[in-house]
Amino acid sequence: MHMALQKTIIFSFLLLISLAMADSAPTAKPLDSSSSQSATVQIVYTERPQHEEPEAYHIRTLTAVLGSDEAAREALVYSYKTAASGFSARLTPAQVSEIQKQPGVLQVVPSRTLQLHSGPGGLQ
């Protein structure tokens, strides 16, 4: 199988797993009113870091956009380390544009909660 197709299939699978896991992710701390007006939770997929712990890498990536380690830690919702490498964070549209330019960032997608039906009684 062609390497690019393999990567696309693996990435799509990891995206589905991450979306399913987002339901169980911790709730984000509210940000101050000036930054939370247009901030939404985004899932940022990154390359797997080679020489540092994933959460430290995720914080460093956020810090490059948000300007401080403290702001990065406040924005971070969850750090994905097992099935996929990445994190979810509260980001404004401008911050999403900036984080997409960071080295090692593969994709940024809005976090969504999906409800799976639990059988015939669950359909409406």
Instruction: Please check whether residue 28 lies inside any domain of the structure.
Output: yes
Instruction: Please check whether residue 121 lies inside any domain of the structure.
Output: no
Instruction: Please check whether residue 123 lies inside any domain of the structure.
Output: no
- DSSP type of residue 121: G
Contact 40, 110 (CB under 8 A): yes
The count of structural domains within the chain is 1
pLDDT value at residue 68: 96
CA nearest to 46, candidates 59, 37, 33: 59
Q: 0.85 exceeded by the pTM?
A: no
- Residue with tokens 């169980």, as numbered in its chain: 24
Instruction: Please check whether residue 122 lies inside any domain of the structure.
Output: no
Instruction: Give Cβ neighbours of residue 95 (< 8 Å, ≥ 6 apart).
Output: 39, 65, 66
Question: What tens digit of pLDDT does each residue of 23-71 get?
Answer: 444 443 444 434 446 899 999 999 999 899 999 999 999 999 999 999 9
CA distances to 12, 18, 24, 121 from 114, rounded to whole Å, are 16, 11, 11, 17
d(CA 5, CA 7): 5
pLDDT value at residue 123: 55
pLDDT value at residue 1: 54
Of the pLDDT bands very low, low, confident and very high (cuts 50, 70, 90), residue 11 is low
pLDDT value at residue 114: 78
Q: Residue 69's domain spans which residues?
A: 3-112
CATH number, position 33 = 3.30.70.80
